[in-house]
Structure 1
Amino acid sequence: MTRADSRLVQTAVIESKTSHRAILLPKDADELALWRRRHPHYSYWCGLALGGCGNELSDRLYRNKVCHFAHHPNTSCHRTETGVNSADHLFVKSDLSAWAGRHRWGARVSLDGRGAGPGDAVDFRTREDRRHVRFQFRILNHPEWVAARERLKREAAGVDWVFGPGAVHPETMEELYDERGHLLRFRCETEGAARRVRLRAEEPGRSTDWVPLDACAMTPEGLWVPGLGPRRRTGSAEPARRMPGQGSDRPRRSRQQQVEAVREALVKAAGLRTRPTWEVLARTAGEELSELSDAERTRLLTDLDRKVGKSGRPFLPALLRTDGGGTPSYVGPVVEAVGCGFPATAEVLRHWCRREIDRAFAVYGTPPRIPLPRFGINKDGHLVAGDVRSPQPRVILHRESGAFGRDDPQEGRLRKAKEVRGELARARKDKAVRRLAAFLKEAEEVLPHLSRAQSGSLRAEMIEARTWLRSHLTDEVKRAGGPRRRRKVVTSTRQSGKARKAGGAKGGKKRETPAPGTRPRRGTGGG
């Protein structure tokens, strides 16, 4: 840079450019002044571990804006991350080192920079039991994560992944839910001039509280977080089949109870935007479901909703997937059985189910959204060109007992808002005061029935209309010669728009003009 650094650099390292001692500069002037008195000999650097240039920084104290670091003049730096969280990987590394030291573990903490920079991940390795915990900062696509996991497994007895904000891919999340039943996450919270790591475990439908590292523990099975349930066993072994009447004290449920349990599990999966395998579904909806054959699974899924083909409800069995992420073969016959058509090929089934997955995520997600129309399947088993749309706008609503379709009055309000917005713009362009006032009144009636997102453009047009109307009235007053001679501008469609002429008689009565040759009546002021 050939001029003063104008960036808001909020983090640096202390002592040298190769240091890993990070600092978050206090933003308040009084706090920074106190920090300077406590640490008068500190020097600050745009550290290499921050992706910086390695040059020295100066701390800038301001009373009228946020305090921050700045480069010296005539220095060149291409550091991309300078915000509050730009040194979180160093703070996490520091916290892990201190945590291991307090427990006297023989552990090694290091930064991993195989990706875009030095802050991609922090690795925590214990020497005695060869456990490995990776704190992942940068999101990896699923194949990248699988490759990294296999590589780390070869180097350690066990690997735990802890993901930072926005650092986990949806497919990776699904696989960890299937494999372990939970997902570990971390975040950093500001404490003075540092950031402290907090952890929690997330399971489908619930999460534990955020806790500091000292509340967690390293066990032979891996990293443990308070509130975390027992870890699921991993492996591909098939569940052992029970002989009738053996191995279970629980009575076998009826078909209707199984159907309700499967529906509830699939609705919950859609709310979490996940796709379970049949084995994961069985762990949630009932272990006896794992014993069902493909034909029995088809019959059970058909009983979920036999009228889904004629309704607007999403096809929940589309959420099921194989271990490879594909659509199970037993789902195809269900599509035909519920009246949605028979997919001719696996590719048609995959595309059709992909749309139903999106529809389920929209209906049961938080917040719910109006789903896209369902794809149609013709008699030849191929997707119909374009979407199959209902003759009237429909919206899918979710209740505890399921989903149902109904005519959507909100669509009418949205159309009305669009029409009123257009009329306001045209009236303003035509300088039609009365018409503008009338449509402003209509807009005010429609506005309370719209959400903030839906009403944004209408609100903007109303502001423009009112601004123009005020400007127009001001011009009218000026042309009339001031407020005392202000002409009355009619703003209602019920009024005629013509100003009445004031009469000259007392009491506000109109003055009568006598006909020629007649004598004025008494009291009219005619003579």
Structure 2
Amino acid sequence: MSTYAYDHRRVQTAVIGHANSDRPVILPMEADELDLWRKAHPTYTYWCGIQLGGCGGELSGKRYTHKVCHFAHHPSAPICHRTANGESSADHLFIKRGVQHLLDKQQVRGKVQTRNFGTGPGDAVDVDLPGTRRRLRFQLSALDYRAWRRATDELTEDIADLDWIFGPDTPVTREIAGRHGFCLRVRCETVGGERRVHIGAETHDRAGSIQWTPLEDCVLTPSGLTSPPVETIRLSRPRPRPASFPLQGGFVFAPVPAADAPPSSPFASENRHLLVADIRPVDSTVVRALISLPGDTVPPLSEHVYRVPDHARMLVLEDGHGWAVEVDRYVRLNAHDAQRTGLWTPPPGALVQKESGSVAPQQPAKSTAADIPETSPAAATTATQSTPSAQPRPLTRVSTVPALRDALADIARLRSTTTWEALARRLGLNLSVLSEAKRLDLLVDVDSPLSEYVPVLSALIRDGSGGPLPYLGDLLDRLGVPYAKHSSKLKRWAVVETGRAFAAYGQPARAMGPRLDLTPVHPLRQREAATAGSRLRAPLVPGSTSRRFTVVATRPIAAPAKKRHDERISGLIAELRDLRPKLTKSVRKSANKAITGAQVWLGDIPVQRVPKRIKAAAQPREHHIRALEAALKAARTDITGAEFLARHQAEQAAQRPPKQVSAPKQQAPTPPVAPRKEQELLASELIRAASRGEMICLLDLPGGRTLPDVTLRRHLTAVDRYPRPEVPLLSALVTAPDGGPTLFFRQILKDLGLAVPHSDEVLMMIWRREQERAHAAYANPPRLLPPRLVPAAQESQQPGPRPT
């Protein structure tokens, strides 16, 4: 460190070789250090580089003993208007060189370039990584939030993700730390004639100092630029909260019955309730939205209306992708106030209490205001059921059928099911007075006429045990669904039709799958159906006096009249046939199904009266193209997985130690090896999952539901029996039923001779890194393999992740 005051009028940085060079250098400030520098680099020439914002003229190093050594222009040099002359004026070139060395060290293909945004050539350094479709931006000049947003939109147009690394501390760095829990920083430190680049991780709370890591010790992974502090922060950071702002004036709300908030909603939180509610702000209309309530309170009931007086906040996702309301305090309204909101109507004959403490006329005279609780919508409903004089409101088919149809459509839009009791509460009707036959008549009118393009909404109604209605077969029989009355597949039919309703009424709507065919498959039943002819029940005609009648219909056969010629489909069939001999049994079966369906559509296979061929012939051309392309993609993935498996087995065989003639007296016990056939089957399943970028639940493994945990652990240990740094641990792809690592993952690490971490946090870090390594190694094409975090047991006295 120099003891002299810094001279701002002198030039401290230059480039080596020529005016357009990007090789930066800092002239040592001390005379003895400058002497050593000149002896080490006698042939260097120094220039006021163009990439430093200089004039391009040649510089010479001036040696002083009474002041700081510095560069000086030659007398014949042009007039220089360079403003940045200090040590930091060449940081962008040092960062560029450091990142390029890191790319070469990890053998990553990338492009590094400096950017000038108006204040100088060192405003930013961009790093493009085409192999991972990722970009790094080292932002060295200050910028505001709106400029940062514009730059983010421009940089992410053609890539998957973007990492920002900031030099100065600005409000934007605090904004990013608030969004993601941390922010990446960069700084340079002078060491002789060099500036060493360091990467830091700044947390959102800013409680501790920034943890800095030399750039050469960082790692470029598919998830971005990482270092040990960044790995720890990413593992432990909390889920970012959406942006929020206060709401003034308060509002009232009523939870929507039988409507569940999506579990993956960005507004969900572990310590809060997330509900779907009808919300009415002051002087506004009713809107249906998500509402977040404190988790330490009992969730509000849909039979009540509640008021939020204050302290409400609106949670907003970026770019208008959604919003919710966060509430910390709410009170329940009485029946009179709830009725005035328009969100609730008391049933007929209910005793509505207008003022708190007032007594209804039907109450006994000995009751006082203190003895009567505040009347709520639920209390009013109870009064209706217990009061003999209360009469149900007349139910007319003209008004009830549209209300039922709209209510079921709303329930399908929320991807939920319902019961008769929930429907009655939702519609404010007393449906308990209806017999089963009258309920059946109502549902027939709701779903008439039957259409293949409209789902049967009655499938959304469940009985008390969660199954379909007990009279669903009679309902479908009256709608005209063949073989429905005595079918054994009604439960499955209700599940499929529920999915069709979710797809048709979802937001946004999706294409519906085909309706489940209830045609019996038993030969005797088929002969009886053929003998009886094709007399099928026709849909109910609304307003007719007879509830049913029959028509004679013939089953159409959608076979092509002549052969079709389609080069696209024929080419896909030929390509799939070439790959078929290399496929496993399950993938080959799917490929055969796609090929057969396409050949039926082309006319190469006769349709006859085979139901599957009739259905395939009726499908459009695009359906068969999608089926062939999906089968072709699955076939390529299957072949790639098989090649990876063969390579994996060959590498393991090469790594096996030679057999010893005489074993030593004391030999460390080795983990038992699973049978070779089971090991190969398990390794094949894990490699396929890795090639698809997925994980496998422990219960979905071969024998996962029948074998004990000890046997499963032995099989997984056998798959990774010879761990090497360049081979990932496939056992990390296996998850417990709760989604985390298996209970015996620590034991697997111990059996493999690796260090066993003590803390769950470190174990989770190792587990996730091995998953990332497996997905990268078996991708098609393979990606850069991140380093392993867990060392061998003999290399670490204190087990734990140590980046390599």
TM-score range, shorter chain: 0.3 to 0.5
TM-score (norm 1): 0.45
Higher RCO structure (Cα 8 Å, ≥6 apart) = 1
